[in-house]
A and B are shown apart, each in its own frame.
Chain A
Amino acid sequence: MSDDQITIEVDGKSLKANKGQMLIEITDANDIYVPRFCYHKKLTVAANCRMCLVEVEKAPKPLPACATPVMDGMKVKTRSKLAVNAQKSIMEFLLINHPLDCPICDQGGECELQDLAMGYGGDVSRYQEKKRVVKDKNIGPLIQTDLTRCIHCTRCVRFGEEVAGLREMGATGRGENMEIGTYIEKSVNSEMSGNIIDLCPVGALTSKPFRYSARTWELVEKDGIAPHDSVGSNIHIHIKGDRVKRVAPADNEAINEVWLSDRDRFSYEGIYSEDRLQNPMIKEEGVWKEVDWETALDVVKQKLGSALESHGANQLGVLASPSSTLEELYLLQKIARAVGTNNIDARLRQVDFSDQNSVSQFPWLGTSIADLETLQSALLIGSNVRKEQPIINHRLRKAALKGAAIMMLNPVDYDFNYPVETKTIVAPEKMPMELAAILKALIETTGQSIDEQTKQCIDNIDITDAHRKMADKLANADDAIVLLGNIATAHPHFSLLRSLAGLIAKHSNSKIGYLSEAANSSGVWLSGVLPHRLAGGVESTNVGLNTHAMLQEKLKAYVLMGVEPEMDCWDSRAARTAMNEAELVISLTAYRSDEIEKYADVMLPVSVFAETSGTFINNAGSSQTFAGVVPPVGQARPAWKFLRVLGNLFNLDGFDYESSSDVLDEVMQSIGEIKTNNMDQWQSPTSLEPASNDLQRITEIPMNMIDSICRRAVSLQKTADVSDGAIHINTALAGKNNLTDADNARVEQDENSVTLKVVVDDRVPDDCVLIQAAHIAQIDLGASFGSIRIAKA
């Protein structure tokens, strides 16, 4: 027994505890229930609701279990007359101002106050005076407020301060006039704001999209995995009848703790978007016709068969969404390879594939998610992690608050909810130079040797104190990491960034990791949905075309799985052109859109998350399998089932799966062990190109635009994190072009031009134009990065 361990007695039971723990932690750990409203294990102790009063021997009055540190030999009674009377009195106070509107309250049935009122509330109110009424304020599209119901536990206030890092809720007024709220009419903007719905013990903060659509006791709770980032947050899917009604986080300390990003919480609305494809459809002489699956399969077999026959398998390109399940991805590549093509890819927002052979088994986070918290130093390259992987950002935030040096090299001055040690904001094409300078500073301070080629490359670079500082922070930390984010992956010189990042990691003895983009970005690599690798990372003898090449070369036929190429690909214009000019496009899609209908020949309705069973492998390499929990909309079917039948139709061997778990067994067998190891063979950089004088385009994908489900989730689309179809330029560039906010600008890339609104945005560096992708207005522009021209329209 260590010195810190003590023994206390609760309700006659002897319990072990550590010094410094609060009483409620011990009772919770030992399944002794103490009622509470304000205490939450992930938030600081406020001790303001007083519901957890318990009797402690030798204390003159009841003490709050949440704020009473344990002491050796302490004797506690949680159910004594004194304790229960105290709890009942507190409940009477809490109910004074609480409305009796449970029948119309969304929290009814899962309300902590309602539950406890059953146990501790009196049946008659002694209070005759007027109840307090609070006027509600609209705090945005996601959270419904009914603050008359508030019992002032301040969990939402503490969440803002301690977790979201953005204090938006507060307690204004005094005494009986105190109100919880935002004081002014404003939207709460945190990317994790939905968590206050779970935290609120009463019906004061409830889900706005879910409002009045079901009673909580009608809901069935099923487990799932969130499909919109590479974290793989665990979720509970709440279902009524055949419909997903809402999503809430499931506890998993190793991944999302108890939190969930707003995107993962509210995206389910996209499942029931009006443009869901209900039936298989085929285009006959330019007219779309609904058919049954049998007919559709025949048409696919015949059209695909004849395309393969007349143009050869090399003219077939296969693109998959990186949010597809592992089973879908695996079957897709199995079919593609069986019919003879290696033109398969799911790296849609990438353009530089030149070093793809030197990547290890999959782009790994470089550490476990939980261990991010204990980092001492991190260099993030091209990442808006706060919006891209909010849960990862939360871990980094915890590290930063403990004193870790979080450093950024970004093309846009993104806002972070923790202190950033240093940030370098430069045009995309200057990013390699900055990394090279950090590398050079590192070599100087550590005195390590470096290969001749790299040496020559970085010899003439000027370094500043900022570079030295970054180098020092990495080199002097016991636990440091270099992380490459979504913007780095999309960078035209990704391989160069990667090799420089790798060298920095190597010479500073840091880890290196990838903040990959989608729920199954890891699964893409492991299942072999790559032109150069088979399942399990085995090198393919024939290397096919990557996404970008497939679109550039305008193949004759494409099969798309969950992809809207004009929205999801690095070069939206090339994607649209390739699709429009192809002879055959077969789209496995959950949705119809004008674009798809223009280029596709067959649309096959496939299931989205919650409708299909499958597996995601997150960025830390954890494989998480989930079940389909609701039947698919209309005639939609899980893509893996379609692919299995297609395999049979083409008389391919090995497509006799009974269930998705059969498929999973096969994939897992071919993957073998998931190797969490990023010790790639770092290629030395060959040259650093000097920056051009052109304006540079920067492309970001706002968090609620990343995939077809999010883009159709109506409430998420009302938030600020969507594409605005504008160009963002800083004051200097606006001035130079005689543009101001809300002007129209003619924007040109290559020979293409569109007219877009101007937003003056000083987060953008000089001579750069930030465009938010996946917006219909900018599709015609094309490449995500590179030269761009603007002028007043």
Chain B
Amino acid sequence: MTETAKTILTEHTRSEIDVWLKKYPEDRKQSAVLAALREAQHQNHGYLTTELMDAVAEYLGMSNIAVYEVASFYSMFETQPVGRHSISVCTNISCLLMGSDDIVEHVEKKLGIKTGETTADGKFYIKCEEECLAACCGGPMMMIDHKYYENLTPEKVDEILDGLD
């Protein structure tokens, strides 16, 4: 590892990555790339920058482009600046039947942004729904950051969103 990765990735981030590195053979450091990117994204409050991805590449001994490939492949990684709370409302079949459209509409109206956008204060980001979040028995549901909120109503959504700092 050289100095650049050290200065860009915080000590905490590096120690988290190291936990993952221990699980893989010495010469298979790149196996930890998903975990490393996740940590780097946390460090930066929700999204990755080229600088961070380069630092991860350096830390794991990968070529930069190989890290870009991974980061751009997975929808859990944001490669553009987004708000620090990432809201994903599930709109897949079960949630849809339970009224997820109303939830989406409510969130959008409340925050004054459309899906895929970030509020001007950089606090909220409504992520485009990707796939079923596997909480069908609790639909409609949403995930904020890494937490699931189920059986949503507009009132409940207000309460949840107002409770975030």
Write the residues of chain A forming the contact surface with B, with a CB cutoff of 8 angstroms.
Answer: 160, 166-174, 182-184
Contact = CB atoms under 8 A, between A and B. Distances in A.
B72 A167 contact: no
27 contacts: A160-B65, A166-B63, A167-B63, A167-B65, A167-B66, A168-B63, A169-B65, A170-B63, A170-B65, A170-B66, A170-B69, A171-B69, A172-B65, A172-B68, A172-B69, A173-B73, A174-B72, A174-B73, A174-B74, A182-B65, A183-B64, A183-B65, A183-B69, A183-B72, A184-B50, A184-B64, A184-B68
Interface size class of B (residues with CB under 8 A): 10 to 19
Nearest to A181: B65
A169 B66 CA distance: 9
Contacts of A174: 72-75
B89 to A, nearest CB: 21
B63 A183 contact: no
A166 B63 CA distance: 8
A170 B68 contact: yes
Nearest to B73: A174
- The 6 A-B pairs with the shortest beta carbon distances in the complex, nearest first, are A170-B65, A167-B63, A172-B72, A183-B68, A170-B69, A174-B73
B128 to A, nearest CB: 12
A151 B129 CA distance: 28
A621 to B, nearest CB: 38
Given A169-B65, A170-B63, 19 more contacts: A160-B65, A167-B63, A167-B65, A167-B66, A170-B65, A171-B69, A172-B65, A172-B68, A172-B73, A173-B72, A174-B74, A174-B75, A183-B64, A183-B65, A183-B68, A183-B69, A183-B72, A184-B64, A184-B68
Interface in B59-81: 63-66, 68-69, 72-75
Nearest to A179: B72
A650 to B, nearest CB: 61
Contacts of A167: 63, 65-66
A183 B48 CA distance: 14
Contacts of A184: 50, 64, 68
Contacts of A166: 63
Interface string B25-67: 0000000000000000000000000100000000000011110
A167 B69 CA distance: 12
A168 B73 contact: no
A727 B68 CA distance: 35
A402 B154 CA distance: 63
Contacts of B68: 170, 172, 183-184
Nearest to B74: A174
Contacts of B69: 170-172, 183
A172 B72 CA distance: 6
Contacts of B50: 184
Contacts of A170: 63, 65-66, 68-69
Contacts of A171: 69
Nearest to A172: B72
A169 B69 CA distance: 10
Contacts of A183: 64-65, 68-69, 72
Contacts of B63: 166-168, 170
B136 to A, nearest CB: 24
Contacts of A182: 65
A172 B73 CA distance: 6
A174 B76 CA distance: 13
A167 B64 CA distance: 8
A788 B68 CA distance: 45
Contacts of B72: 172-174, 183
A401 to B, nearest CB: 14
Contacts of A160: 65
Contacts of B75: 174
A183 B74 CA distance: 15
A574 B68 CA distance: 51
A182 B72 CA distance: 12
Nearest to B69: A170
Nearest to A171: B69
Nearest to A169: B65
A290 B73 CA distance: 64
Contacts of A169: 65
A205 to B, nearest CB: 15
Contacts of A168: 63, 65
A408 to B, nearest CB: 20
Nearest to A168: B65
A160 B66 CA distance: 11
A354 B73 CA distance: 62
Contacts of B73: 172-174
A167 B74 CA distance: 21
A172 B74 CA distance: 10
A594 B11 CA distance: 58
Of A160, A172, A182, most B-chain CB atoms within 10 Å = A172
Nearest to A167: B63
Interface string B64-102: 111011001111000000000000000000000000000
B14 to A, nearest CB: 23
A169 B73 CA distance: 15
A182 B69 CA distance: 10
Nearest to B63: A167
A169 B75 CA distance: 21
Nearest to B65: A170
B25 to A, nearest CB: 18
Nearest to B68: A183
Contacts of B64: 183-184
Contacts of B74: 174
A168 to B, nearest CB: 6
A789 to B, nearest CB: 31
Nearest to A166: B63
Nearest to A177: B72
Nearest to B70: A172
A167 B61 CA distance: 12
A172 B66 CA distance: 9
Nearest to A175: B73
A609 B50 CA distance: 44
A699 B42 CA distance: 47
B132 to A, nearest CB: 17
B118 to A, nearest CB: 20
B75 to A, nearest CB: 8
Interface centre among A173, A174, A183 (most CB of B within 10 A): A183
A442 B60 CA distance: 37
A315 to B, nearest CB: 57
